[in-house]
Amino acid sequence: MTLLVVSPDYASHLLPLATLATEWRDRGERVVVATGPATAAIVESFGFERVHLQLGRGSNPGVIRAEEQVAEEDASLRGFFDATRLGMVETLSYQARERLTDLMWQPVATARAVLDVVAAVRPDQIVVDHLAFSARLALVAGGVPFADVVLGHPTALPVGDEVYGCPPEWPAAFGGAGAGADPALAGGRTTVESSNHPGTRFDDANVVRAAGDASVARADAGAAPEGVAGLRELCERVDASFTAEWNAALAELAPHLPPSTSAFGEHGDLLLYNYPGELADPEREALLPPHVWLGSAVRAEPVDAEVAAWLAGGADRAPAPAPDLDPTPDRDPTSDPDPDPTPAPFVYVSFGSFLSVRSDVLGRVAEALRRVGVRAAIALGSGDRADLGEVPSDWLVREFLPQVTLLDAATAAVTHGGNNSVTEAMTAGVPVVVLPFSTDQFAGAAALERTGVGVALAPNTATVDELAEALRHVLDLPTRDPGAAGRLAGLAASLRETPGRARAHAALTGRD
């Protein structure tokens, strides 16, 4: 039996797909991965065959830097990074415009290359990254059955009146969901400030207080028309344009097939959501096509000697004072130390392969960690180490860190809200502080907030004090919110009992 995995040339996409495919490999079955050259080493590390397939102009072998991309992708990435500094609407609007050139790279030629790979490999099953639009176009045109893996938050496949690129749900720090919003905004479930303006804060009632900036809307009054409403309108235009491009390519490849009404809503014969069903919005469940919740695709990692020594050093330390979880000044944090020599708690911090460039935000997170008094392991990525300030001697800071290994031992995590990071944290039973910047990270952060297993803050405006309080909350979750801590523990147990790779294999083969 042969499984064909079709992936863009991005590590963050290939790693979970390859992890799912290990179930086939471990059963002695053949696995072939069709992807580009940047991730060839990852394919080799899993012991899979690789065939060349270029699905887009960009690539990412693990840590992405704009200057290492081709000229067009370099400019696109720099524009994206700049947009993240302006605010969420600006970022999502920039990404929407970029989709006019990024998602369907040379669609007809790419689709034919995909069909050539299928003919050469002759697979029994095919799994495709949902965002590999040209690959899915090819399989639709060729009448080839396939499973569609949604690697991001489930809202990456819009249903009902949702529009791709305009999140249907937002965390409270961005206005929350349905807080008096105009029903025309984002399917009637969104209200939000128009930008991450400095000086803007949310109080406990989630009402925006803008320091002298009248352009920021009150959350309870809905977003400014040029904000989320403008974003939704832009996303609708992009949907129409993208659908026209899809249909033009489809007409050339398979003129006998009917045109699509919305290319972003197209999907495979079976949807595999790399996401826990326990965190999914129950209101969307009835609207979904045939699907399986995989939960997570947590990969095995080789032993990293430096990380193992750092973790062992934390375990061998004498009982340390507890982190300053109570910010009141009259509390003595050294009182009543735990007599058992348990490992010192630590927080794992990563903004992923793209958004690690925002080391200005990492710097505020680092200061909050110092203020709370907890150890940290920080994956710096392409960020500037100088932005972290003075790094305590018991911290671990490197360009790349083995995320799964560290999450397994962490007490809490700080993340940009990428789906790999979120699902891996949930599998480890680790609560998170989420600082979403783009795409489906907002809806993902809202889900974590809704279920109580995470705290979401706006990355451009969150102060060190706010970050420190969020850290205290997740570090002390069993005391502050026992119900949420219990839900997280139950979710982690479920994800570990039946891994996503086993769920995927059973769904595609009908065999446990």
Both tokens of 296, joined, read 């997570």
Run of H or E residues at 250: helix 230-253
In whole angstroms, what separates CA 420 from the centre of its chain? 5
Run of H or E residues at 101: helix 88-102
> What confidence score (pLDDT) does residue 28 get?
97
Q: How far is CA 24 from CA 102, 149, 404, in A?
A: 32, 16, 21
Q: Are strands 147-150 and 291-293 parallel, antiparallel or unpaired?
A: unpaired
> What confidence score (pLDDT) does residue 103 get?
67
3-class secondary structure, 287: coil
Model confidence, pTM: 0.83
> What confidence score (pLDDT) does residue 315 get?
63
3-state per-residue secondary structure call for 429-478: CCCEEECCCCCCHHHHHHHHHHHCCEEECCCCCCCHHHHHHHHHHHHCHH
> What confidence score (pLDDT) does residue 14 get?
94
Closest CA to 36 of 19, 50, 46: 50
> What confidence score (pLDDT) does residue 301 get?
92
> What confidence score (pLDDT) does residue 40 get?
95
User: Which residues in the chain come in under a pLDDT of 70?
Assistant: 58-73, 101-103, 176-226, 315-342
For the purposes of burial, counting CB atoms within 10 Å of the CB of 452, is it exposed (0-12), middle (13-18) or buried (19 or more)? middle
54 — alpha (psi -120 to 50), left (phi > 0) or beta?
beta
> What confidence score (pLDDT) does residue 73 get?
58
Within 10 angstroms of residue 65's Cβ, the number of other Cβ atoms is: 14
> What confidence score (pLDDT) does residue 189 get?
34
What lies within 8 Å, CB to CB, of 373 at 6+ separation is 321, 323, 324, 333
71 — alpha (psi -120 to 50), left (phi > 0) or beta?
alpha
